């Protein structure tokens, strides 16, 4: 059964994490403390700020700062509820003035986690108090009635003191009434002395408490002053950082504008230089063209004469080469004819020799046959 409860709790915890999970940059850590019941003043329904020294840590929660403390209960129960000393039911406490007081149920839906973080508080901490039997509304009403009765009784006793005060003259009342009166005064005087001693002790404790409260008030005043100073320093630092960022951005923009302006000027100068170079080349070409036109006729005549001379030389060389080639061709044809004639003569000679040899071979073969 216990394992099933733990599984359900873990599933609930994972569902809380997985569903509507906020951005991690918006989550804050909040330290949870328990104020012991022994330092809580039930009659006065408060505790001095000094009891924070006796607080017990139960861990911390990592929650969004926009979360209400009513919704924070579930996170605290899921994370810190496994501790043995953690109360099943608890009330939130808040330091207002010189003391810690309980947060009402309807106030839990108004206060948020960011109200328990600096600069609203000194540190990201939240204090809780376990509920006990004195928190029952009927008991609280009875306690109030008891306190009211005590106050009325003390007032009546102080008023009766004026009536039971002995007078200098003789009593004018009946002796029997005087006897009863003496008995009543004899019973009331001891109780009044007890009340007087109690009042002196309460006055002493009140003076001590007032001194403590003044010291605590002074400490809280100094703490608030220190927090205001730190907040002012943080604001000044933030303003300085913003001013530095503005100066840096302005300087970057100025440098960028100057760089772009220089680039534009360089591009304009390059275009002007290129245009001037083109115009210069054109002017040089025009002047050269005019000079060339004046000298073209002479140059052409000279060139024609040179070409004519070269042509004459080439034609003479051509005629010589053609003549030489024709001579070579005629010589080659004559030589070829001579070679063919020699070959024919040689052929006929060899043919005749073969015929003679054949005849010589046939004669002995005929003789042999015969």
Q: d(Cα 226, Cα 261) in Å, to the nearest integer?
A: 52
- Asked whether residue 157 is assigned to any structural domain, the reply reads no
Q: Give the count of domains, the chain.
A: 1
- Asked whether residue 171 is assigned to any structural domain, the reply reads no
- Asked whether residue 111 is assigned to any structural domain, the reply reads yes
Cβ pair 125, 33 in contact under 8 A: yes
- Spatial CA neighbour of 216 closest among 354, 97, 112, 305: 97
**E-assigned strand segments in 111-259:** 125-130
| CATH number of the domain encompassing residue 68 | 3.10.20.90
- Spatial CA neighbour of 30 closest among 87, 88, 72: 72
Calculate the alpha carbon distances from 162 to 103, 155, 203 in Å: 44, 11, 22
- Asked whether residue 81 is assigned to any structural domain, the reply reads yes
- Asked whether residue 226 is assigned to any structural domain, the reply reads no
**Per-residue pLDDT reduced to its tens digit, 200-232:** 766 777 777 777 777 877 888 888 888 888 888
pLDDT at 332 over 90: yes
pLDDT at 310 over 80: yes
Beta carbons within 8 Å of 85's beta carbon, 6+ residues apart: 34, 56, 58
- Taking the whole predicted model, whether its pTM rises above 0.85 is answered as no
Range of the domain at 94: 2-133
Using 50, 70 and 90 to split pLDDT, how confident is the model at 7? low
- Asked whether residue 326 is assigned to any structural domain, the reply reads no
């Amino acid at each position: 059964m216990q394992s099933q409860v733990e599984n359900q709790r873990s599933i609930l915890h994972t569902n809380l994490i997985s569903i509507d999970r906020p951005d991690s940059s918006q989550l804050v850590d909040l330290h949870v403390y328990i104020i012991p019941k022994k330092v809580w003043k039930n009659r006065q329904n408060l505790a001095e700020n000094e009891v924070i020294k006796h607080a017990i840590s139960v861990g911390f929660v990592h929650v969004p700062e926009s979360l209400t403390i009513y919704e924070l209960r579930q996170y605290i129960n899921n994370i810190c509820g496994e501790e043995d000393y953690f109360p099943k039911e608890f009330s939130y406490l808040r330091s207002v003035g010189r003391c810690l007081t309980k947060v009402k149920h309807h106030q839990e839906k108004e206060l948020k986690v960011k109200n328990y973080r600096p600069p609203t508080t000194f540190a990201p901490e939240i204090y809780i108090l376990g509920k006990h039997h004195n928190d029952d509304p009927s008991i609280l009403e009875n306690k109030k009635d008891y306190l009211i009765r005590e106050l009325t009784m003390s007032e009546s006793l102080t008023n009766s003191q004026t009536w039971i005060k002995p007078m200098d003259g003789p009593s004018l009342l009946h002796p029997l009434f005087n006897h009863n009166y003496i008995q009543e005064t004899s019973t009331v005087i001891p109780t009044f002395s007890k009340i007087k001693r109690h009042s002196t002790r309460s006055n002493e404790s009140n003076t001590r408490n007032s001194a403590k409260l003044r010291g605590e008030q002074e400490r809280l005043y100094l703490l608030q002053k220190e927090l205001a100073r730190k907040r002012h320093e943080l604001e000044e630092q933030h303003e300085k950082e913003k001013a530095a960022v503005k100066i840096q951005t302005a300087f970057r923009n100025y440098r960028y504008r100057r760089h772009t302006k220089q680039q534009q000027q360089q591009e304009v100068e390059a275009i002007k230089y290129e245009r001037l170079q083109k115009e210069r080349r054109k002017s040089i070409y025009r002047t050269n063209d005019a000079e060339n036109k004046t000298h073209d006729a002479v140059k052409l005549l000279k060139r024609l004469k040179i070409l004519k001379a070269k042509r004459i030389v080439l034609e003479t060389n051509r005629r010589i080469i053609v003549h030489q080639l024709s001579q070579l061709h005629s010589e080659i044809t004559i030589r070829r004819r001579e070679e063919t004639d020699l070959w024919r003569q040689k052929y006929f000679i060899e043919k005749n020799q073969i015929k003679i040899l054949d005849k010589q071979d046939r004669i002995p073969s005929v003789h042999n046959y015969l």
